[in-house]
Amino acid sequence: GADLSAHLWARYQDMRRLVHDLLPPEVCSLLNPAAIYANNEISLRDVEVYGFDYDYTLAQYADALHPEIFSAARDILIEHYKYPEGIRKYDYNPSFAIRGLHYDIQKSLLMKIDAFHYVQLGTAYRGLQPVPDEEVIELYGGTQHIPLYQMSGFYGKGPSIKQFMDIFSLPEMALLSCVVDYFLGHSLEFDQAHLYKDVTDAIRDVHVKGLMYQWIEQDMEKYILRGDETFAVLSRLVAHGKQLFLITNSPFSFVDKGMRHMVGPDWRQLFDVVIVQADKPSFFTDRRKPFRKLDEKGSLQWDRITRLEKGKIYRQGNLFDFLRLTEWRGPRVLYFGDHLYSDLADLMLRHGWRTGAIIPELEREIRIINTEQYMHSLTWQQALTGLLERMQTYQDAESRQVLAAWMKERQELRCITKALFNAQFGSIFRTFHNPTYFSRRLVRFSDLYMASLSCLLNYRVDFTFYPRRTPLQHEAPLWMDQLCTGCMKTPFLGDMAHIR
């Protein structure tokens, strides 16, 4: 027993040294935050028409906008919904939540769920306090698995669970958690559904009343980022003979001021079609709403729309009339947006357009992945996983003790890795070993994804993107955890020989 324990610990130390040999510092900066990443093969040579959302696509906003949304919605709760004055003590915490989280309305749980509908333990919060793993499992009937298809619809909304998918939802999650924290901390009874609806309505009021539009219009230099890069992208596409269109839920006056700031007074000449207040995602599914033309002052006209003219502004409408009037169909159209459901899902699944997702968080996550600390932490986890798999054949007490010690260290490494991204919820793309539910939808609904539209400037307009071929589990004779267990061939062949 003592000899075996010494042998296993020595092997473990060898693996840690191997990690250092495999990952010298120069390999820890390989990913490029300005790159475009492909889920599906797509040749830009075949794309003739480019479409864009406005908010967080053409116009990138500074994080300074989120505290404004949080504070305004908090004050609306207090002053109009008569919530306790004590809620005013809460300020926006930009490092609390991440995009893609799910909220169980009846349980007041904010949590991260993986691609297989399992809650990542250690990432469930009620209010601002973590919920113990044992309680989470008990709440869901003795399992981490949540049958999302029973609780949430196609667009991430349902009677029981909602997924927060857009960047504007970050202040919403923060406010929801703060209000729940206040009620629990003061032992106030509340109906979870009423509280959830009041918070979401207060956030909605910030948008409906135009408060967010006012803040941005008053200080565009502060709130709008990368305007010159947006102009460069649009100008380059037009110069290469591409047709452009804009479909946004924002009102014309707001879009017009933002585009004038980024592109100039003649911005409409770059676009063949401009549609505002489109009411996505129903724009993609509801055939009933007709297009209405706006005059130069933004007032509605009464003419019947028989064609969509360049330089004109249209409101509402629907995708079916849009396709009929433009004949822009199928894979020759590439549409960019930031919301996987409202912007991209219907276009890809039902209409065959190619889609590009704008994920601003990608830049920060890649910079973290490129750190040596992340690479070593991740690889040690893989090394431990491989060793733990091999040790299952040892059944003596001392081996089980070593196994428990390694399992504990692997869990500690996982927590370290998670905290590099976000102390509460980790990365928006990955749980400990699986993709997140957000990642699953990203792969399903987008051909390409990138941190900003400006990434297009790094590629030719006839460039072909190829998804990286990653081996399936049964295809990989040489994988990272196998490397780290010192195996330069298919591992455990001896152990597998008896399998028939």
CA 144 centroid distance within chain: 22
Average the pLDDT over 470-489 and give the result: 54
Q: Which amino acid is at 422?
A: N
* pLDDT, position 10: 74
List, for residues 248-299, the tens digit of each pLDDT value: 999 999 999 999 999 999 999 999 999 999 999 889 888 889 999 998 877 8
Is the pLDDT score of 7 beyond 80? no
DSSP at 352: -
> Does the structure show a pLDDT above 80 at 383?
no
pLDDT in tens, 297-332: 778 888 888 999 999 999 999 999 999 999 999 999
Is residue 484 predicted with pLDDT exceeding 80? Answer: no
User: pLDDT tens digits, residue range 58-112?
Assistant: 999 999 999 999 999 999 999 999 999 999 999 999 999 999 999 999 999 999 9
Q: Any residues with CB less than 8 A from the CB of 433 and at least 6 apart, and which?
A: none
Quick check: 76 and 205 in contact, CB under 8 A?
yes
394: alpha, beta or left, given left = phi > 0 and alpha = psi -120 to 50? beta
The number of angstroms, rounded, from the C-alpha of 483 to the middle of its chain's C-alpha atoms is: 31
Query: Position 357: which residue type?
Result: A
DSSP 3-state of 241: coil
- Of 336, 335, 343, 366, which Cα lies nearest the Cα of 166? 343
- 411-452: pLDDT as tens digits: 887 888 888 999 999 999 999 889 999 999 999 999 999 999
Please give the mean pLDDT across all residues of the chain. 86
Question: Are 241 and 272 a contacting pair, CB within 8 Å?
Answer: no
At 179 the pLDDT is: 98
Catalytic residue among 55, 104, 346, 447: 55
Q: Any known ligand binding at 55?
A: yes
Calculate the alpha carbon distances from 90 to 19, 60, 63, 171, 180 in Å: 44, 27, 18, 12, 12
Cα–Cα–Cα angle for 189, 195, 199, rounded to 5 degrees = 145
Cα dihedral sign, 213-153-139-426: negative
Q: State mean pLDDT over 481-495.
A: 43
Euclidean distance between CA atoms 100 and 163, whole angstroms: 6
3-state secondary structure 400-449: HHHHHHHHHHHHHHHHHHHHHHCCCCCCCCECCCCEEHHHHHHHHHCCEE
457 close to 240: Cβ distance less than 8 angstroms = no
Q: What is the pLDDT of residues 324-370, one digit of tens each?
A: 999 999 999 999 999 988 888 887 777 889 999 999 999 999 998 88
What confidence score (pLDDT) does residue 302 get? 87
Report how far apart, in Å, the C-alpha atoms of 464 and of each of 38, 41, 329, 359, 468 are.
10, 7, 20, 20, 13
Say yes or no to pLDDT of 485 above 60.
Answer: no
Highest average pLDDT, of 179-193, 347-361, 459-473, comes from: 179-193
The whole-model pTM stands at: 0.88
Taking CB atoms within 8 Å and a gap of at least 24, the contacts of 305-310 are: 308/272, 308/273, 310/268, 310/269, 310/271, 310/272, 310/273
Go through the domains of the chain in sequence order and give each one's CATH number: 1-34+362-485 (no CATH), 43-61+222-355 (3.40.50.1000), 64-217 (no CATH)
Q: Going by DSSP bridges, is the β-strand pair 243-247/224-225 parallel, antiparallel, or unpaired? A: unpaired
User: Using an 8 Å Cβ cutoff, are 332 and 324 in contact?
Assistant: no
Using pLDDT thresholds of 50, 70 and 90, give the confidence band for residue 198. Answer: very high
Residue 470 has pLDDT above 50, yes or no: yes
| pLDDT digit string, tens, across residues 39-49 | 999 999 999 99
- In this predicted structure, the answer to whether residue 240 has a pLDDT above a threshold of 70 is yes
- Quickly list H helices, 89-246: 133-139, 148-151, 169-185, 192-208, 211-218, 220-223, 227-239
- CA atoms lying within 13 Å on the CB side of residue 1: 8
Rounded distance between C-alpha atoms, residue 345 and residue 444, angstroms: 8
Q: Contacts for 323-330 with beta carbons within 8 Å, 24 or more apart? A: 323/351, 326/245, 326/272, 326/273, 328/49, 328/243, 328/245
Q: What pLDDT is stored for residue 19 in this prediction?
A: 61
Whether 180 shows a pLDDT value over 90: the answer reads: yes
Backbone angles phi, psi at 58, to 5 degrees: -70, -40
Options 21, 53, 321, 481, the catalytic residue: 53
Nearest to 234 by CA among 264, 213, 278, 277: 264
Is 53 designated active site?
yes
Confidence of residue 16 (pLDDT cuts 50, 70, 90): low
Distances (CA, A) of 81 to 74, 174, 182, 209, 470: 10, 18, 15, 16, 52
Confidence category of residue 394, pLDDT binned at 50, 70, 90: low
**Per-residue confidence at 401, pLDDT binned at 50, 70, 90?**
confident
Residue from 264, 258, 356, 256 nearest 51 by CA? 356
Q: How confident is the model at residue 483 (pLDDT cuts 50, 70, 90)?
A: very low
C-alpha distance from residue 432 to each of 41, 138, 195, 382 (Å) = 28, 21, 32, 11
Give yes or no for a contact between 110 and 215, defined as CB atoms under 8 angstroms apart. no
Beta bridge partners of 355: 335
Dihedral sign of CA atoms 288, 272, 46, 342 in order: negative
Q: Which two tokens stand for residue 463?
A: 């460039």
Q: What residue type is 322 in one-letter code?
A: F
91 is in an annotated binding site: no
